[in-house]
Each structure stands twice: as C-alpha cells, then as structure tokens.
Amino acid sequence: AASGLVAGVNVAMAVLDKEPVTFPLETAIGALAHYISSANTKNFQPMNINFGLMPPLNIRIRKKKEKNAQIAERALKALENTLLEMAK
C-alpha cells in the first residue's frame, strides 16, 4: 500500500511538472522504501513497518514508549517538511 501511495503521489507530481517526492528515511514510508531498495537479496525477508527500520535517535532513551514517541515526532516533522516542499 505504501508503494502505491508513493507511486500515486509521484504520478501527480509528474502531471504537475514537479520533481518526484522522496520520502525521508525518518518516515515510515521512507524507511520501508529504503529497506526494500537496499536489502540483501540473498536473505531478504518481507517486513511491515517497525521502529527498528527507522534511523536511531541521536540520544539514548531507555523507556521504549518514550523513545518511540520521539521517533514518531521526528517522523512527523520530516513528513511536514516534505509536504511543504511538495506544495512549492
């Protein structure tokens, strides 16, 4: 579903004569795209999104719930920046 969304967004961008969108690695869609495109084909395992696919935070947070909340907040900021770039 995520790949279809990216394809649809980029078809719309092409119709509007705009640059294609690359979702940041910090977002779920970007992390999944990176996982698929950079996976070792010999040992590839299909996977749903999880926080382990996203880049680690620059700080160590011990509580899993708090760490995941920080990762999610970072993803939302990255997505917001991407959406602002798309709107230009």
User: Which has the closest alpha carbon to 26: 86, 81, 85?
Assistant: 81
Q: Look at residue 64 and tell me whether its pLDDT is greater than 90.
A: yes
Tell me the average pLDDT across 62-79. 96
Encoding tokens for residue 51? 């926080």
- CB of 52 closer than 8 Å to CB of 32: no
Q: Look at residue 74 and tell me whether its pLDDT is greater than 90.
A: yes
pLDDT, tens digit (0-9, with 9 covering 90-100), for 16-42: 999 999 999 999 999 999 998 888 888
pTM: 0.82
Q: Identify how many contiguous H helices and E strands the chain contains and give both numbers.
A: 3, 0
